A and B are shown apart, each in its own frame.
Chain A
Amino acid sequence: MGEQISRLMDGELDDVALDLAVGQLKRPEGMDAWVCYHVIGDTLRGAHPVAPGFSRRFAARLAAEPTVLAPRVAPNRPVTRVWAAAAGMAAVALVGWVAFTTMQPDLKGIAIADRSVPYRPGLKPSVVPVDYLAVHHEYAPTSQIQGIGPYLQPATAIAPDARQ
């Protein structure tokens, strides 16, 4: 599920997968993943710096926590609380793991992506210089075996380009 949502955020899904991912978002855990991933993404990009002294206070709080070797059985504790705590742990583990694996590729990739063009149609083929296409065909093996094949391409592509 997480992967679909992650890809949705990156705008990488095709129409079929998009429906699937949107369906997942309607479920609470799907929405949680969506929010969680955005927090991670924002933090990695430094959009929301954590409060000053966070690391120091976190370390102090962690040190102050008693080390529980054998958790006391609490039969009267509502089951939901246990699950909530477990889910919290899992979330921390997930965040830590995801953040770690995300850090693996160099941040250059993310910087590049931030300036990338959204994947949307709309560019008219005619604005692509014809000489680019002609030069490319010279290198394309498949166009060579079709002989005059590349010239079969639609008139829009071959028509005088926008600069003329």
Chain B
Amino acid sequence: MARTGTRDETAGAGPRRRRPFAPLAALVLALVLGASPALAQEAASWLARAADAARTLNYVGTIVYEHGGRKEKSRLVHRNEGGAESEKLVNLDGPAREVIRSHTEVFCYYPDNKLLRVEPRTFRNAFPALTAQQQKALAEHYTVRRADNERVAGLDAQAWVFEPKDRYRYRQTFWVDVATGLLLKARIENERHEAVEQFEFTDLAIGQGIEREMVRPTWTGTPRGWQRQELTPGTIENKDTGWEVARLPPGFAKTGEGMRLLHGKSEPVAHLVYSDGLVTVSVFVEHASSAPRAFGRAQIGGVNIFVRQVDDNVITVLGEAPGATVRQIANTVVRR
């Protein structure tokens, strides 16, 4: 993971130098790139179509997921029968794991740990038609580009590139099946163009009949001797949490805020969501008494995580953004 030092981060020991011309430069840039919002909107509508296709189509294929120099291969079957969705994901290498997703719940089987985890499945509109302001924000912080068509898993794919204009975000590329709109490949790269995460279908059949048996779990119910862990729905009460981020990285704006009751926690956790139009960063604040005791940073594929303590509170920040972005947000979480 590259440590992307950025000039505008929280002040530390060293003296600051301001860049008084930055706003002017941004304005000039916005004027020069005046045509971008339309392109951003077109790219966003392709991605909205991809999100829709992932839910409505019948398909079966092999996915290769790469992260941190490792590759994991999985088999995915997705079935939509009269609007009712079911899905089965089985990994083909590494420790065995099976994920069954119905339209209401997700069952994760971990045979080596003898664990079944059940979590609710939530729907949220991915890439709903972007507001004019969001289009503008997206075009201000990414150069959106339609790349040449490429073949992925034997299918003709349209590639969309979101090239960041600063170091606060990753470069993202999406390959979308021209015929059906399904996402065939997605890649997240750091500023050195190294992949931090990549997902790709290596073979895929779309639109064929999928039998119910193909999406059935290997086990029925909770297997004997297994632990069953239920995650609560995590209902959120939308309200002012009393927390805010004092110095948000450019382009990020708050898109959600509320108190959330989570599994195993007696007190609700403050949850704030920030987005730059393409990726999101979540901020969780909870009382130290119920939080895990580890601070620092971690990375899971394209998701960076930063945990710190402020007085009696533990702040956990995570999102599909570079470590420096997540760190800046974490370091400037303050009481309003």
- Please list the residues of chain A having a beta carbon within 8 angstroms of any beta carbon in chain B: 2-3, 5-15, 17, 37-38, 40-41, 44, 98-99, 101-102, 104-105, 108-110, 112-113, 115-125, 127-136, 138-142, 144-149, 151-164
What residues of chain B lie closer than 8 Å to A119, measured between beta carbons?
3, 297, 323, 327
B67 is an interface residue with CB less than 8 A from chain A: yes
- Residue contact B183 to A37, C-beta cutoff 8 Å: no
What residues of chain B lie closer than 8 Å to A142, measured between beta carbons?
172, 186, 278-279, 320
Q: Contacts A3-B7, A112-B331, A159-B113: A121 and B305 contacting too (C-beta < 8 A)?
A: no
6 nearest A-B residue pairs (beta carbon): A144-B126, A12-B5, A6-B14, A10-B12, A147-B54, A123-B296
What residues of chain A lie closer than 8 Å to B297, measured between beta carbons?
117, 119-123
B146 is an interface residue with CB less than 8 A from chain A: no
- Please list the residues of chain B having a beta carbon within 8 angstroms of any beta carbon in chain A: 1-7, 9-18, 47, 50-51, 54-55, 63, 65, 67, 70, 72, 74, 76, 78, 87, 89, 91, 94-95, 97, 99, 101, 106, 108, 110, 113, 115, 117, 119, 122, 124, 126-127, 172, 174, 183, 186, 199, 229, 231, 234, 246-247, 255-256, 260, 262-264, 271, 273, 275, 278-280, 282, 284, 292, 294-301, 303, 305-308, 310, 316, 318-320, 323-324, 327, 330-332, 334
What residues of chain A lie closer than 8 Å to B7, measured between beta carbons?
3, 7
Bound: A113/B4 CA distance, A: 17
- Residue contact B172 to A123, C-beta cutoff 8 Å: no
Bound: A130/B45 CA distance, A: 31
What residues of chain B lie closer than 8 Å to A138, measured between beta carbons?
122, 124
What residues of chain A lie closer than 8 Å to B324, measured between beta carbons?
12
Q: Give which listed residue, A10, A140, A147, contacts B9 with CB less than 8 A.
A: A10
Bound: A37/B301 CA distance, A: 37
- 5 interchain pairs (CB within 8 A)? A10-B9, A14-B2, A120-B296, A149-B199, A157-B300
- Residue contact B308 to A128, C-beta cutoff 8 Å: no
What residues of chain A lie closer than 8 Å to B273, measured between beta carbons?
139
Closest residue of chain B to A116 (Cβ to Cβ) is B331
- Residue contact B108 to A124, C-beta cutoff 8 Å: no
Bound: A115/B292 CA distance, A: 19
- Residue contact A141 to B127, C-beta cutoff 8 Å: yes
Bound: A149/B6 CA distance, A: 30
Closest residue of chain B to A155 (Cβ to Cβ) is B95
Closest residue of chain B to A34 (Cβ to Cβ) is B14
